[in-house]
Amino acid sequence: MDELDGDLQHDLERIEIKLLLEGIYRQYGYDFRNYTYSSIRRRIWHRIRIEKLNTISGLQEKVLHDPKMMEKLFADFSINVTEMFRDPRFFLTFRKKIIPLLRNEPIIRIWHAGCSTGQEVFSMAILLHEEGLLHKSRLYGTDMNESVLKKAKRGSFPIEKMQLYTKNYMQAGGTTAFSEYYTVKNGMVQFEPFLMDNMVFAQHNLVTDGSFNEFQIIICRNVMIYFNEPLQNHVHGLIYESLCTNGFLGLGNKEGVVFTTHASCYEEMDGTEKFYRKIK
């Protein structure tokens, strides 16, 4: 009986979540319908607990009638986990394997899709600066969440992660002292303004928006892990469209193109760090 009840509840939960996401889409235009079910479910329950509600339907009522609740839920859905030089080997590989192939480009356009608070974009800017390529690079950081972009635009990050960032920076093959790039003011780390000269932060939703430029490099790490297979394929289509021939795609270290519809369009650049080159 318990098992049956469990199953029934499961089904009910599914229905409620589907209704909620459909409602959000119709009312606000945010499309979370193709996010991974398990993740979206956890986020929803997270919000329900905070709001001291009991059911998803209860949350649905609040979300649909109160845009502020939607904002909160929206913030819950966008998981803004990032750090500077996250997975240092990724940046080290980029430095060693990709940079040499970019030196002769007249201009280097890089898109950080789902850049969150921008740490990754700043990391890239530092790396390009050290390789003498920053002056001819344009870094585009996009995220669906505008509030995180505001933080990114300031170029100042909380101090508490800086020890980790310093370590990452070194492991990523940094060529100078990390402290060259920042000053600490009022408990915040302000990065040098010159890093931001060629940086653009803009709101962009991978699910609903289209391609906006052609890039030599697109970095989209740990974004699609929240998407189900059809949506992953859709986003891969968007990325493919936005990538110039022989352009590079960087994914999170748990991701890959192998099972996507665009698997055959890329060749692997590195076995462990997920860099792919568009070959057709």
Partner 1 sequence: MRYKTILITGFSSMVVLMFVLLAILSSIHANLSENITEIVDDRYMKVKLASEIENQVNRMSGLLTNIVLEESQANIQKEKESFKKAAYGVKAAMDSLAQSVNLQESMKILETTGYLFESYEEKSALALASAEEGQKAEAKQLIVLETRVIRDQLLRSVEDLKQVQEMLLQEAYTRTNDQYQYIQTISTIFIVSGLVFGVLVAVWTIRNMGYRLKRITSVISQVAFRTQENLPRIQMDTKDEIGDIARAFNEMAESLENHAHQEKEYKQAMRDHSWLKTQVLDVTSSCQGIQDINQLAQTLVNKITPLVNAQYAVLYVRDGQADSQRLFKAGTYGYDAEEMQVKTIEFGEGLVGQSALENKAIELSHVPDHYIQVGSGLGHAKPAELTIMPISHEGHVLGVLELATFLSYSPLQKEFLQEILRDIGTVMNSIYIHMQVSNLLKESQTLTEELQSQSEELQLQQEELRSINEKLEDQYKNAETKAKELEKAKGELERNAVQIEQASRYKSEFLANMSHELRTPLNSLLILAQILAENKDKNLTPRQVEFATTILKSGNNLLNLINDILDLSKIESGKMEIVISKVAIRDMVSYAKQHFQPIALQKGLDFKVTMSDGVPEEIETDEQRLQQILTNLLSNACKFTKQGSVQVDISMKQTDLEAASIVFAVKDTGIGISPEKQEIIFDAFQQADGTTSRKFGGTGLGLSISREMANLLGGYIHVDSEEGVGSTFTLYLPLEHVAESVVDQTFAYLEVAATASGSPEIVAVTEEDEGLKGKKALVVDDDMRNIFALTAALEERKMQVIFAENGREGIQALEEHADVDIVLMDIMMPEMDGYEAIEKIRSNPDWQQLPIIALTAKAMKYDREKCMEAGASDYISKPVNMEQLMSLMRVWLYG
256 binds partner 1 (CB under 8 A): yes
177 binds partner 1 (CB under 8 A): yes
234 and 223 Cβ atoms separated by less than 8 Å: no
175 binds partner 1 (CB under 8 A): yes
Interaction mask 43-82, partner 1, x per CB under 8 A: x--x--------------------------------xxx-
Interaction mask 130-169, partner 1, x per CB under 8 A: -----------------------------xx-xx--x---
CB 260 → partner 1: shortest distance, Å? 10
Q: Which is nearer to partner 1, 36 or 211 (CB)?
A: 36
Interaction mask 202-241, partner 1, x per CB under 8 A: --------------------x-xxx--x------------
189 binds partner 1 (CB under 8 A): yes
Question: Which residue of 66, 180, 241, 267 would you call a contact of partner 1, by CB under 8 A?
Answer: 180
271 binds partner 1 (CB under 8 A): no
Distance of CA 71 to the CA centre of its chain: 19
Residues 6+ apart with CB under 8 A from 143: 78, 80, 114, 115, 116, 149, 152, 201, 203, 204
Question: Which residue of 252, 262, 266, 277 would you call a contact of partner 1, by CB under 8 A?
Answer: 252
Query: Phi then psi for 22, rounded to 5 degrees?
Result: -65, -45
CB 144 → partner 1: shortest distance, Å? 15
Residues in the chain: 280
Point out which residues bind partner 1 (CB under 8 A).
Answer: 36, 38-39, 42-43, 46, 79-81, 159-160, 162-163, 166, 170, 175-180, 182-187, 189, 222, 224-226, 229, 252, 254-256, 258-259
